[in-house]
Chains A and B, each alone.
Chain A
Amino acid sequence: MEIAAENLTVRLGGVARVDRVSLILRPGELVGLIGPNGAGKTTLFRALAGLREPDEGAVRYGGRTLADIGRRTMARRLAYLEQTSEAHWPLRADHVVGLGRLPHRRFGRAAAAGDAAAVDRALRAADACAFRERPMSALSGGERARVLLARALAVESEWLLADEPVAALDPAHQLGVMERLHEAARRGIGVVVVLHDLTLASRFCDRLVLMAGGRVIGDGAPAAVLTDSAAAAAYGVTLARAVAHGEPLVAPWRRIDPHLERNR
């Protein structure tokens, strides 16, 4: 199933936060959605996940709309990880992960054995087994983020849309999560992640989509998208480049002072 955004416009408070965006996402790719704060990444994400009806344009899933597919079926096929999600009750970590199995449960039925196995796999994938029986309120921010990622993984859907899944993690876990997402894409799952870390984005993603001001200003392989001029236009930074262990490394390096630019 392909996800196709067609001329998508989403307005918040009258302002177009996503402005005529067209995009085709294919399974088997790890796509990084990057862009500065306020670029419209989360708004686009919510529209792609069917959480926000676009004001103009449409999102099609394998050619069909959300209304055709139905929200329940959709929930089995696409998992969404919120950017600032938190558990409101002192839920146990594995219970939170178990929520990812809700779309698969027939009404009124208890969890099946298959659900428990899926929860285990998700906990392992997010490296959250160690604290699976602890309540969320007793976990650190990074641990909570891993549990929530495991929750999204537990859906075992063909699509995973994750909004900043590594923002709260330490370096080891950032790398771990990116590796898992990369593997998931290799297995044929469509993975889209919002990222702020350009180094991780350029290293792990098959494709980057760069947004600024609600528009897509770059879409393609990381090397083709993260050009010096694109970094300057979107983020107002210069990029440092190197080669580490035979792989290209990109990192934001210096802010471009708008006054200096103008005077030069």
Chain B
Amino acid sequence: MAERFLAFVLAAACLGLWCGSAAAAAPARVVSINLCTDELLVQLADPAQVASVSWLSAASAGSNVADRVMDVPQNHGFAEEVVAARPDLVLAGRYTARAAVSVLRRIGVPVVDADAPGTLDQVKAEIRRVADAIGHGDRGDAMIAELERRMSRPTPVRTPKLRAAVLRPNGFTAGPGSLSDELMRRAGLVNVAAELKLDTYGQLPLETIILAGVDLLIVDGDRAGPPAIATEVLSHPILAKLGDRVRVVKIPPRLWTCYGPSIADAYDILVDAAGSAP
């Protein structure tokens, strides 16, 4: 009862005070509560439109826009913070901060859910969706065109193709259906994890990856992060002892964790690796 009353009051406040302008073509105040939508928002919107971004995009290790959000207010994905920022539009990820999103929807705040794309086409679709939602479709088109240009770079032809596997903290890898898998295949690599019948992002024991016979091990690049058991697997002595049998390729996770122009940078590294001597 109390909850419903609260929702009613919030909705009334929303209607009476500031939600009226949400219908306008270009929302004046946009809040993003997801790292990936943060990046698109910062890159596509007018600075004045950005009301707040998630705290993750200010943490430099995982973010491509850390230097550009220094002065932008941060949120932690709580509905209360978001409402207080009086947004005309909220950008959220389909799999993150769901509790906040459902509250926001209930009190009538417009929310755009961005999907986690598994293919390049879906990446483009997500960029377009976010760009349209914030009223800058033209900038979205330009971003997509630039991405297409960089992704069309010729890939090395080589037989047999080099075999590669992604090794993330906690032994997670990138299986079939993931964006990483598509980028690897596109760059002319064989994704070993795809042979091992994994889910999209499965956990693999180290010995399985090693015995599957990999030429390239793709690990997180900048590993100056805080100590964690999760990242210990990346410094396991066996990786050093593999010697020239396996080459370690470093890709900073921020390059291809999200769907933005930075995946072209990850792609460049993959193509270079695929073309190099084994």
Contact flag (A, B; Cβ within 8 A): no
